[in-house]
Structure 1
Amino acid sequence: MCTAFVSIEPGSAVPVLLLSVRDEYLGRDWLPPGRHWPDRPGLVGGLDLAAGGTWLAVDPERRTAACLLNGFGPLAPAHSRLSRGALPLTAVRDGGIGHLDLTPYDPFHLVQVRPDGARVTSWGGHGEPEEHELPTGLSVIINDGLEGLAASRTGSERVRALMAARAAHFRARFDALPRPRPTADGTAEQAWGDWLPVVTGDGLALDADAALIQRRDFGDGRLWGSSSVSLLALGPELLRYDFAAAPLPDGPGWQRVALG
């Protein structure tokens, strides 16, 4: 149940803000953001050690980023399936994924952010992908797509209820707070202000229905939960990336990702 919030305020010193929470089976190994791909020099992202891709990629030169959320729908054919973890890297390297044949990929939602806006591409496993340019204000993307309205959505009432509770709680919290205006300097606390305590869980239990930072046992013998949190600020002269392993605040804390 990955989740992304995108705040767009044209004309602001920092027009685009991205919050991306990665949820995954907790036994899946990964490395924190870095330059992990010699064939794609300059690109920065966390490394999924199972498949070699990433859930969020950043191109510092172009000041763009892309994050990936799993979707729902028919899976790609097993004999030709490709890892979705390559998609964020391709998106920031090539400026999008419109040139790709998506049939080898399982369903997904790809959020691409740039200094002047953001776009979501949703692939449900068949037909044509959905493309949405995000409006001014706060948007939420969950595994059911932009605002939970993708053509292909989960059939699980329980999962749908959890995603809806998370989206509703945190949309209301962010809307009630001053919008951060990060700068290139300072700590995560200074950059993200009143948002940061909310991002780190807002005091909710890890198993609360609305939990943004979560731990859940769905009964298959493996624990599912939030493994990392990313905060990005994009503007005409700014690209800032703050990252933390989850859960927070018990984890190692926030680190500023080097993009120079």
Structure 2
Amino acid sequence: MCTAFVSIEPEAAVPVLLLSVRDEYLGRAWLPPDHHWPDRPDLLGGLDLAAGGTWLAVDPVRRTAACLLNGFGPLAPADARRTRGRLPLTAVREGGIGHLDLTPYDPFHLVLVRADGARVSSWSGGRLEERELPSGLSVVLNDGLEGRAADRTTSERIRDLMAARAAHFRSRLTAEPRPEPTADGPAAAAWGGWLPIVAGDGLAPDADAALIQRRDFGDGRIWGSSSISLLALGPDRLRYDFAAAPVAADGPGWRRVATG
């Protein structure tokens, strides 16, 4: 149940903010953001050690970032399937994924943010749908933009959990003054009132609305939030803060990723 919140205010000093929470089976190994790909040494992102790709990629030169959420729908043919983890790397380097043959990929939603806006690309196995995001706060879930993808989960329980998370944190983030992070200083100073909300807002990890979650769905593996990313993009700045989950509400645990 990965989730991305995108705040767009075209007239602000920092027009685009991205909050991306990665949810995964907690036994899946990964490395924190760095220059992990020899064929694309200028790009930053966390490394998924199981498949070699990433859930969020950043191109500091172009000031773009792309985060990936799994979707629902028909799976790609098993004999031709490719990892979706390379798609964020392609998106930030080439400005999107619309030129690709996507038939080897399982369903997904990809959020591409730029200094002047953001776009969501959704693939459910049949055709690619792309939507430019409006001003204000948008949320992208595994059920798509605002939970309205054509192909959505058949699990009423999962759908309710996603809806509860989206509703709670949309309300909490919009109630706080919108941050305008500078390139310097600690995360607590940069993100202000958003930071304790992003750290979980005091909710238990098994609460229905939990952003930083930990759940046992009964298959012997633990599902939960493994990391949190905060990005600020503007015409003259890019800030990237990262934390492994869980993280303290008052700031410790955050690392500002060097993008210079």
TM-score above 0.5, yes or no: yes
- In 1, Cα distance between equivalents of 2:248 and 2:195: 11
Q: Is it true that 1:20 corresponds to 2:20 in the alignment? A: yes
Pairwise mapping of residues 228-247 of structure 1 onto structure 2 (< 5 A)? 228-247=227-246
Structure 1 partner of 2:253: 253
Structure 1 partner of 2:195: 196
- In 2, Cα distance between equivalents of 1:89 and 1:177: 32
- In 2, Cα distance between equivalents of 1:125 and 1:163: 22
Question: In the TM superposition, what is the alpha-carbon distance from 1:247 to its structure 2 partner?
Answer: 1.1
Structure 1 partner of 2:70: 70
Distance change >3 Å, CA 147–CA 254, structure 1 → 2:
same
Question: Which string of whole-angstrom CA distances, capped at 9 and with x for unpartnered residues, describes residues 147-190 of structure 1?
Answer: 00011100000000000000000000011110001001110000
- In 2, Cα distance between equivalents of 1:43 and 1:205: 35
Q: Is it true that 1:133 corresponds to 2:132 in the alignment? A: yes
Secondary structure of 1:159's counterpart equals: helix
Structure 2 partner of 1:34: 34
Question: In the TM superposition, what is the alpha-carbon distance from 1:95 to its structure 2 partner?
Answer: 1.0
- In 2, Cα distance between equivalents of 1:248 and 1:159: 24
Q: Is the 1:244–1:254 contact (alpha carbons within 8 Å) kept by the matching residues of 2?
A: yes
Pairwise mapping of residues 1-260 of structure 1 onto structure 2 (< 5 A)? 1-126=1-126, 128-249=127-248, 253-260=253-260
Q: Percent identity?
A: 80
Q: Is the 2:17–2:231 contact (alpha carbons within 8 Å) kept by the matching residues of 1?
A: yes
Kindly provide the amino acid, as one letter, of the partner of residue 61 in structure 2.
E
- In 1, Cα distance between equivalents of 2:93 and 2:247: 31
Question: Which string of whole-angstrom CA distances, capped at 9 and with x for unpartnered residues, describes residues 7-38 of structure 1?
Answer: 00001100000000000000000000000001
Across the aligned residues of Structure 1 and Structure 2, the Cα RMSD in angstroms comes to 1.1
Question: Which string of whole-angstrom CA distances, capped at 9 and with x for unpartnered residues, describes residues 58-93 of structure 1?
Answer: 000000000000000011010000000000001011
Q: Is the 1:3–1:22 contact (alpha carbons within 8 Å) kept by the matching residues of 2?
A: yes
- In 1, Cα distance between equivalents of 2:142 and 2:248: 25
Question: In the TM superposition, what is the alpha-carbon distance from 1:252 to its structure 2 partner?
Answer: 6.9
Q: Which runs of 5+ in 2 are unaligned?
A: none
- In 2, Cα distance between equivalents of 1:119 and 1:152: 19
Q: Is the 1:63–1:115 contact (alpha carbons within 8 Å) kept by the matching residues of 2?
A: yes
Normalised to the residue count of structure 2, the TM-score between the two structures is 0.98
Question: Which string of whole-angstrom CA distances, capped at 9 and with x for unpartnered residues, describes residues 208-242 of structure 1?
Answer: 00000000011110000000000000000000000
Q: Is the 1:245–1:252 contact (alpha carbons within 8 Å) kept by the matching residues of 2?
A: no
Q: Is the 1:244–1:252 contact (alpha carbons within 8 Å) kept by the matching residues of 2?
A: no
Secondary structure of 2:223's counterpart equals: strand
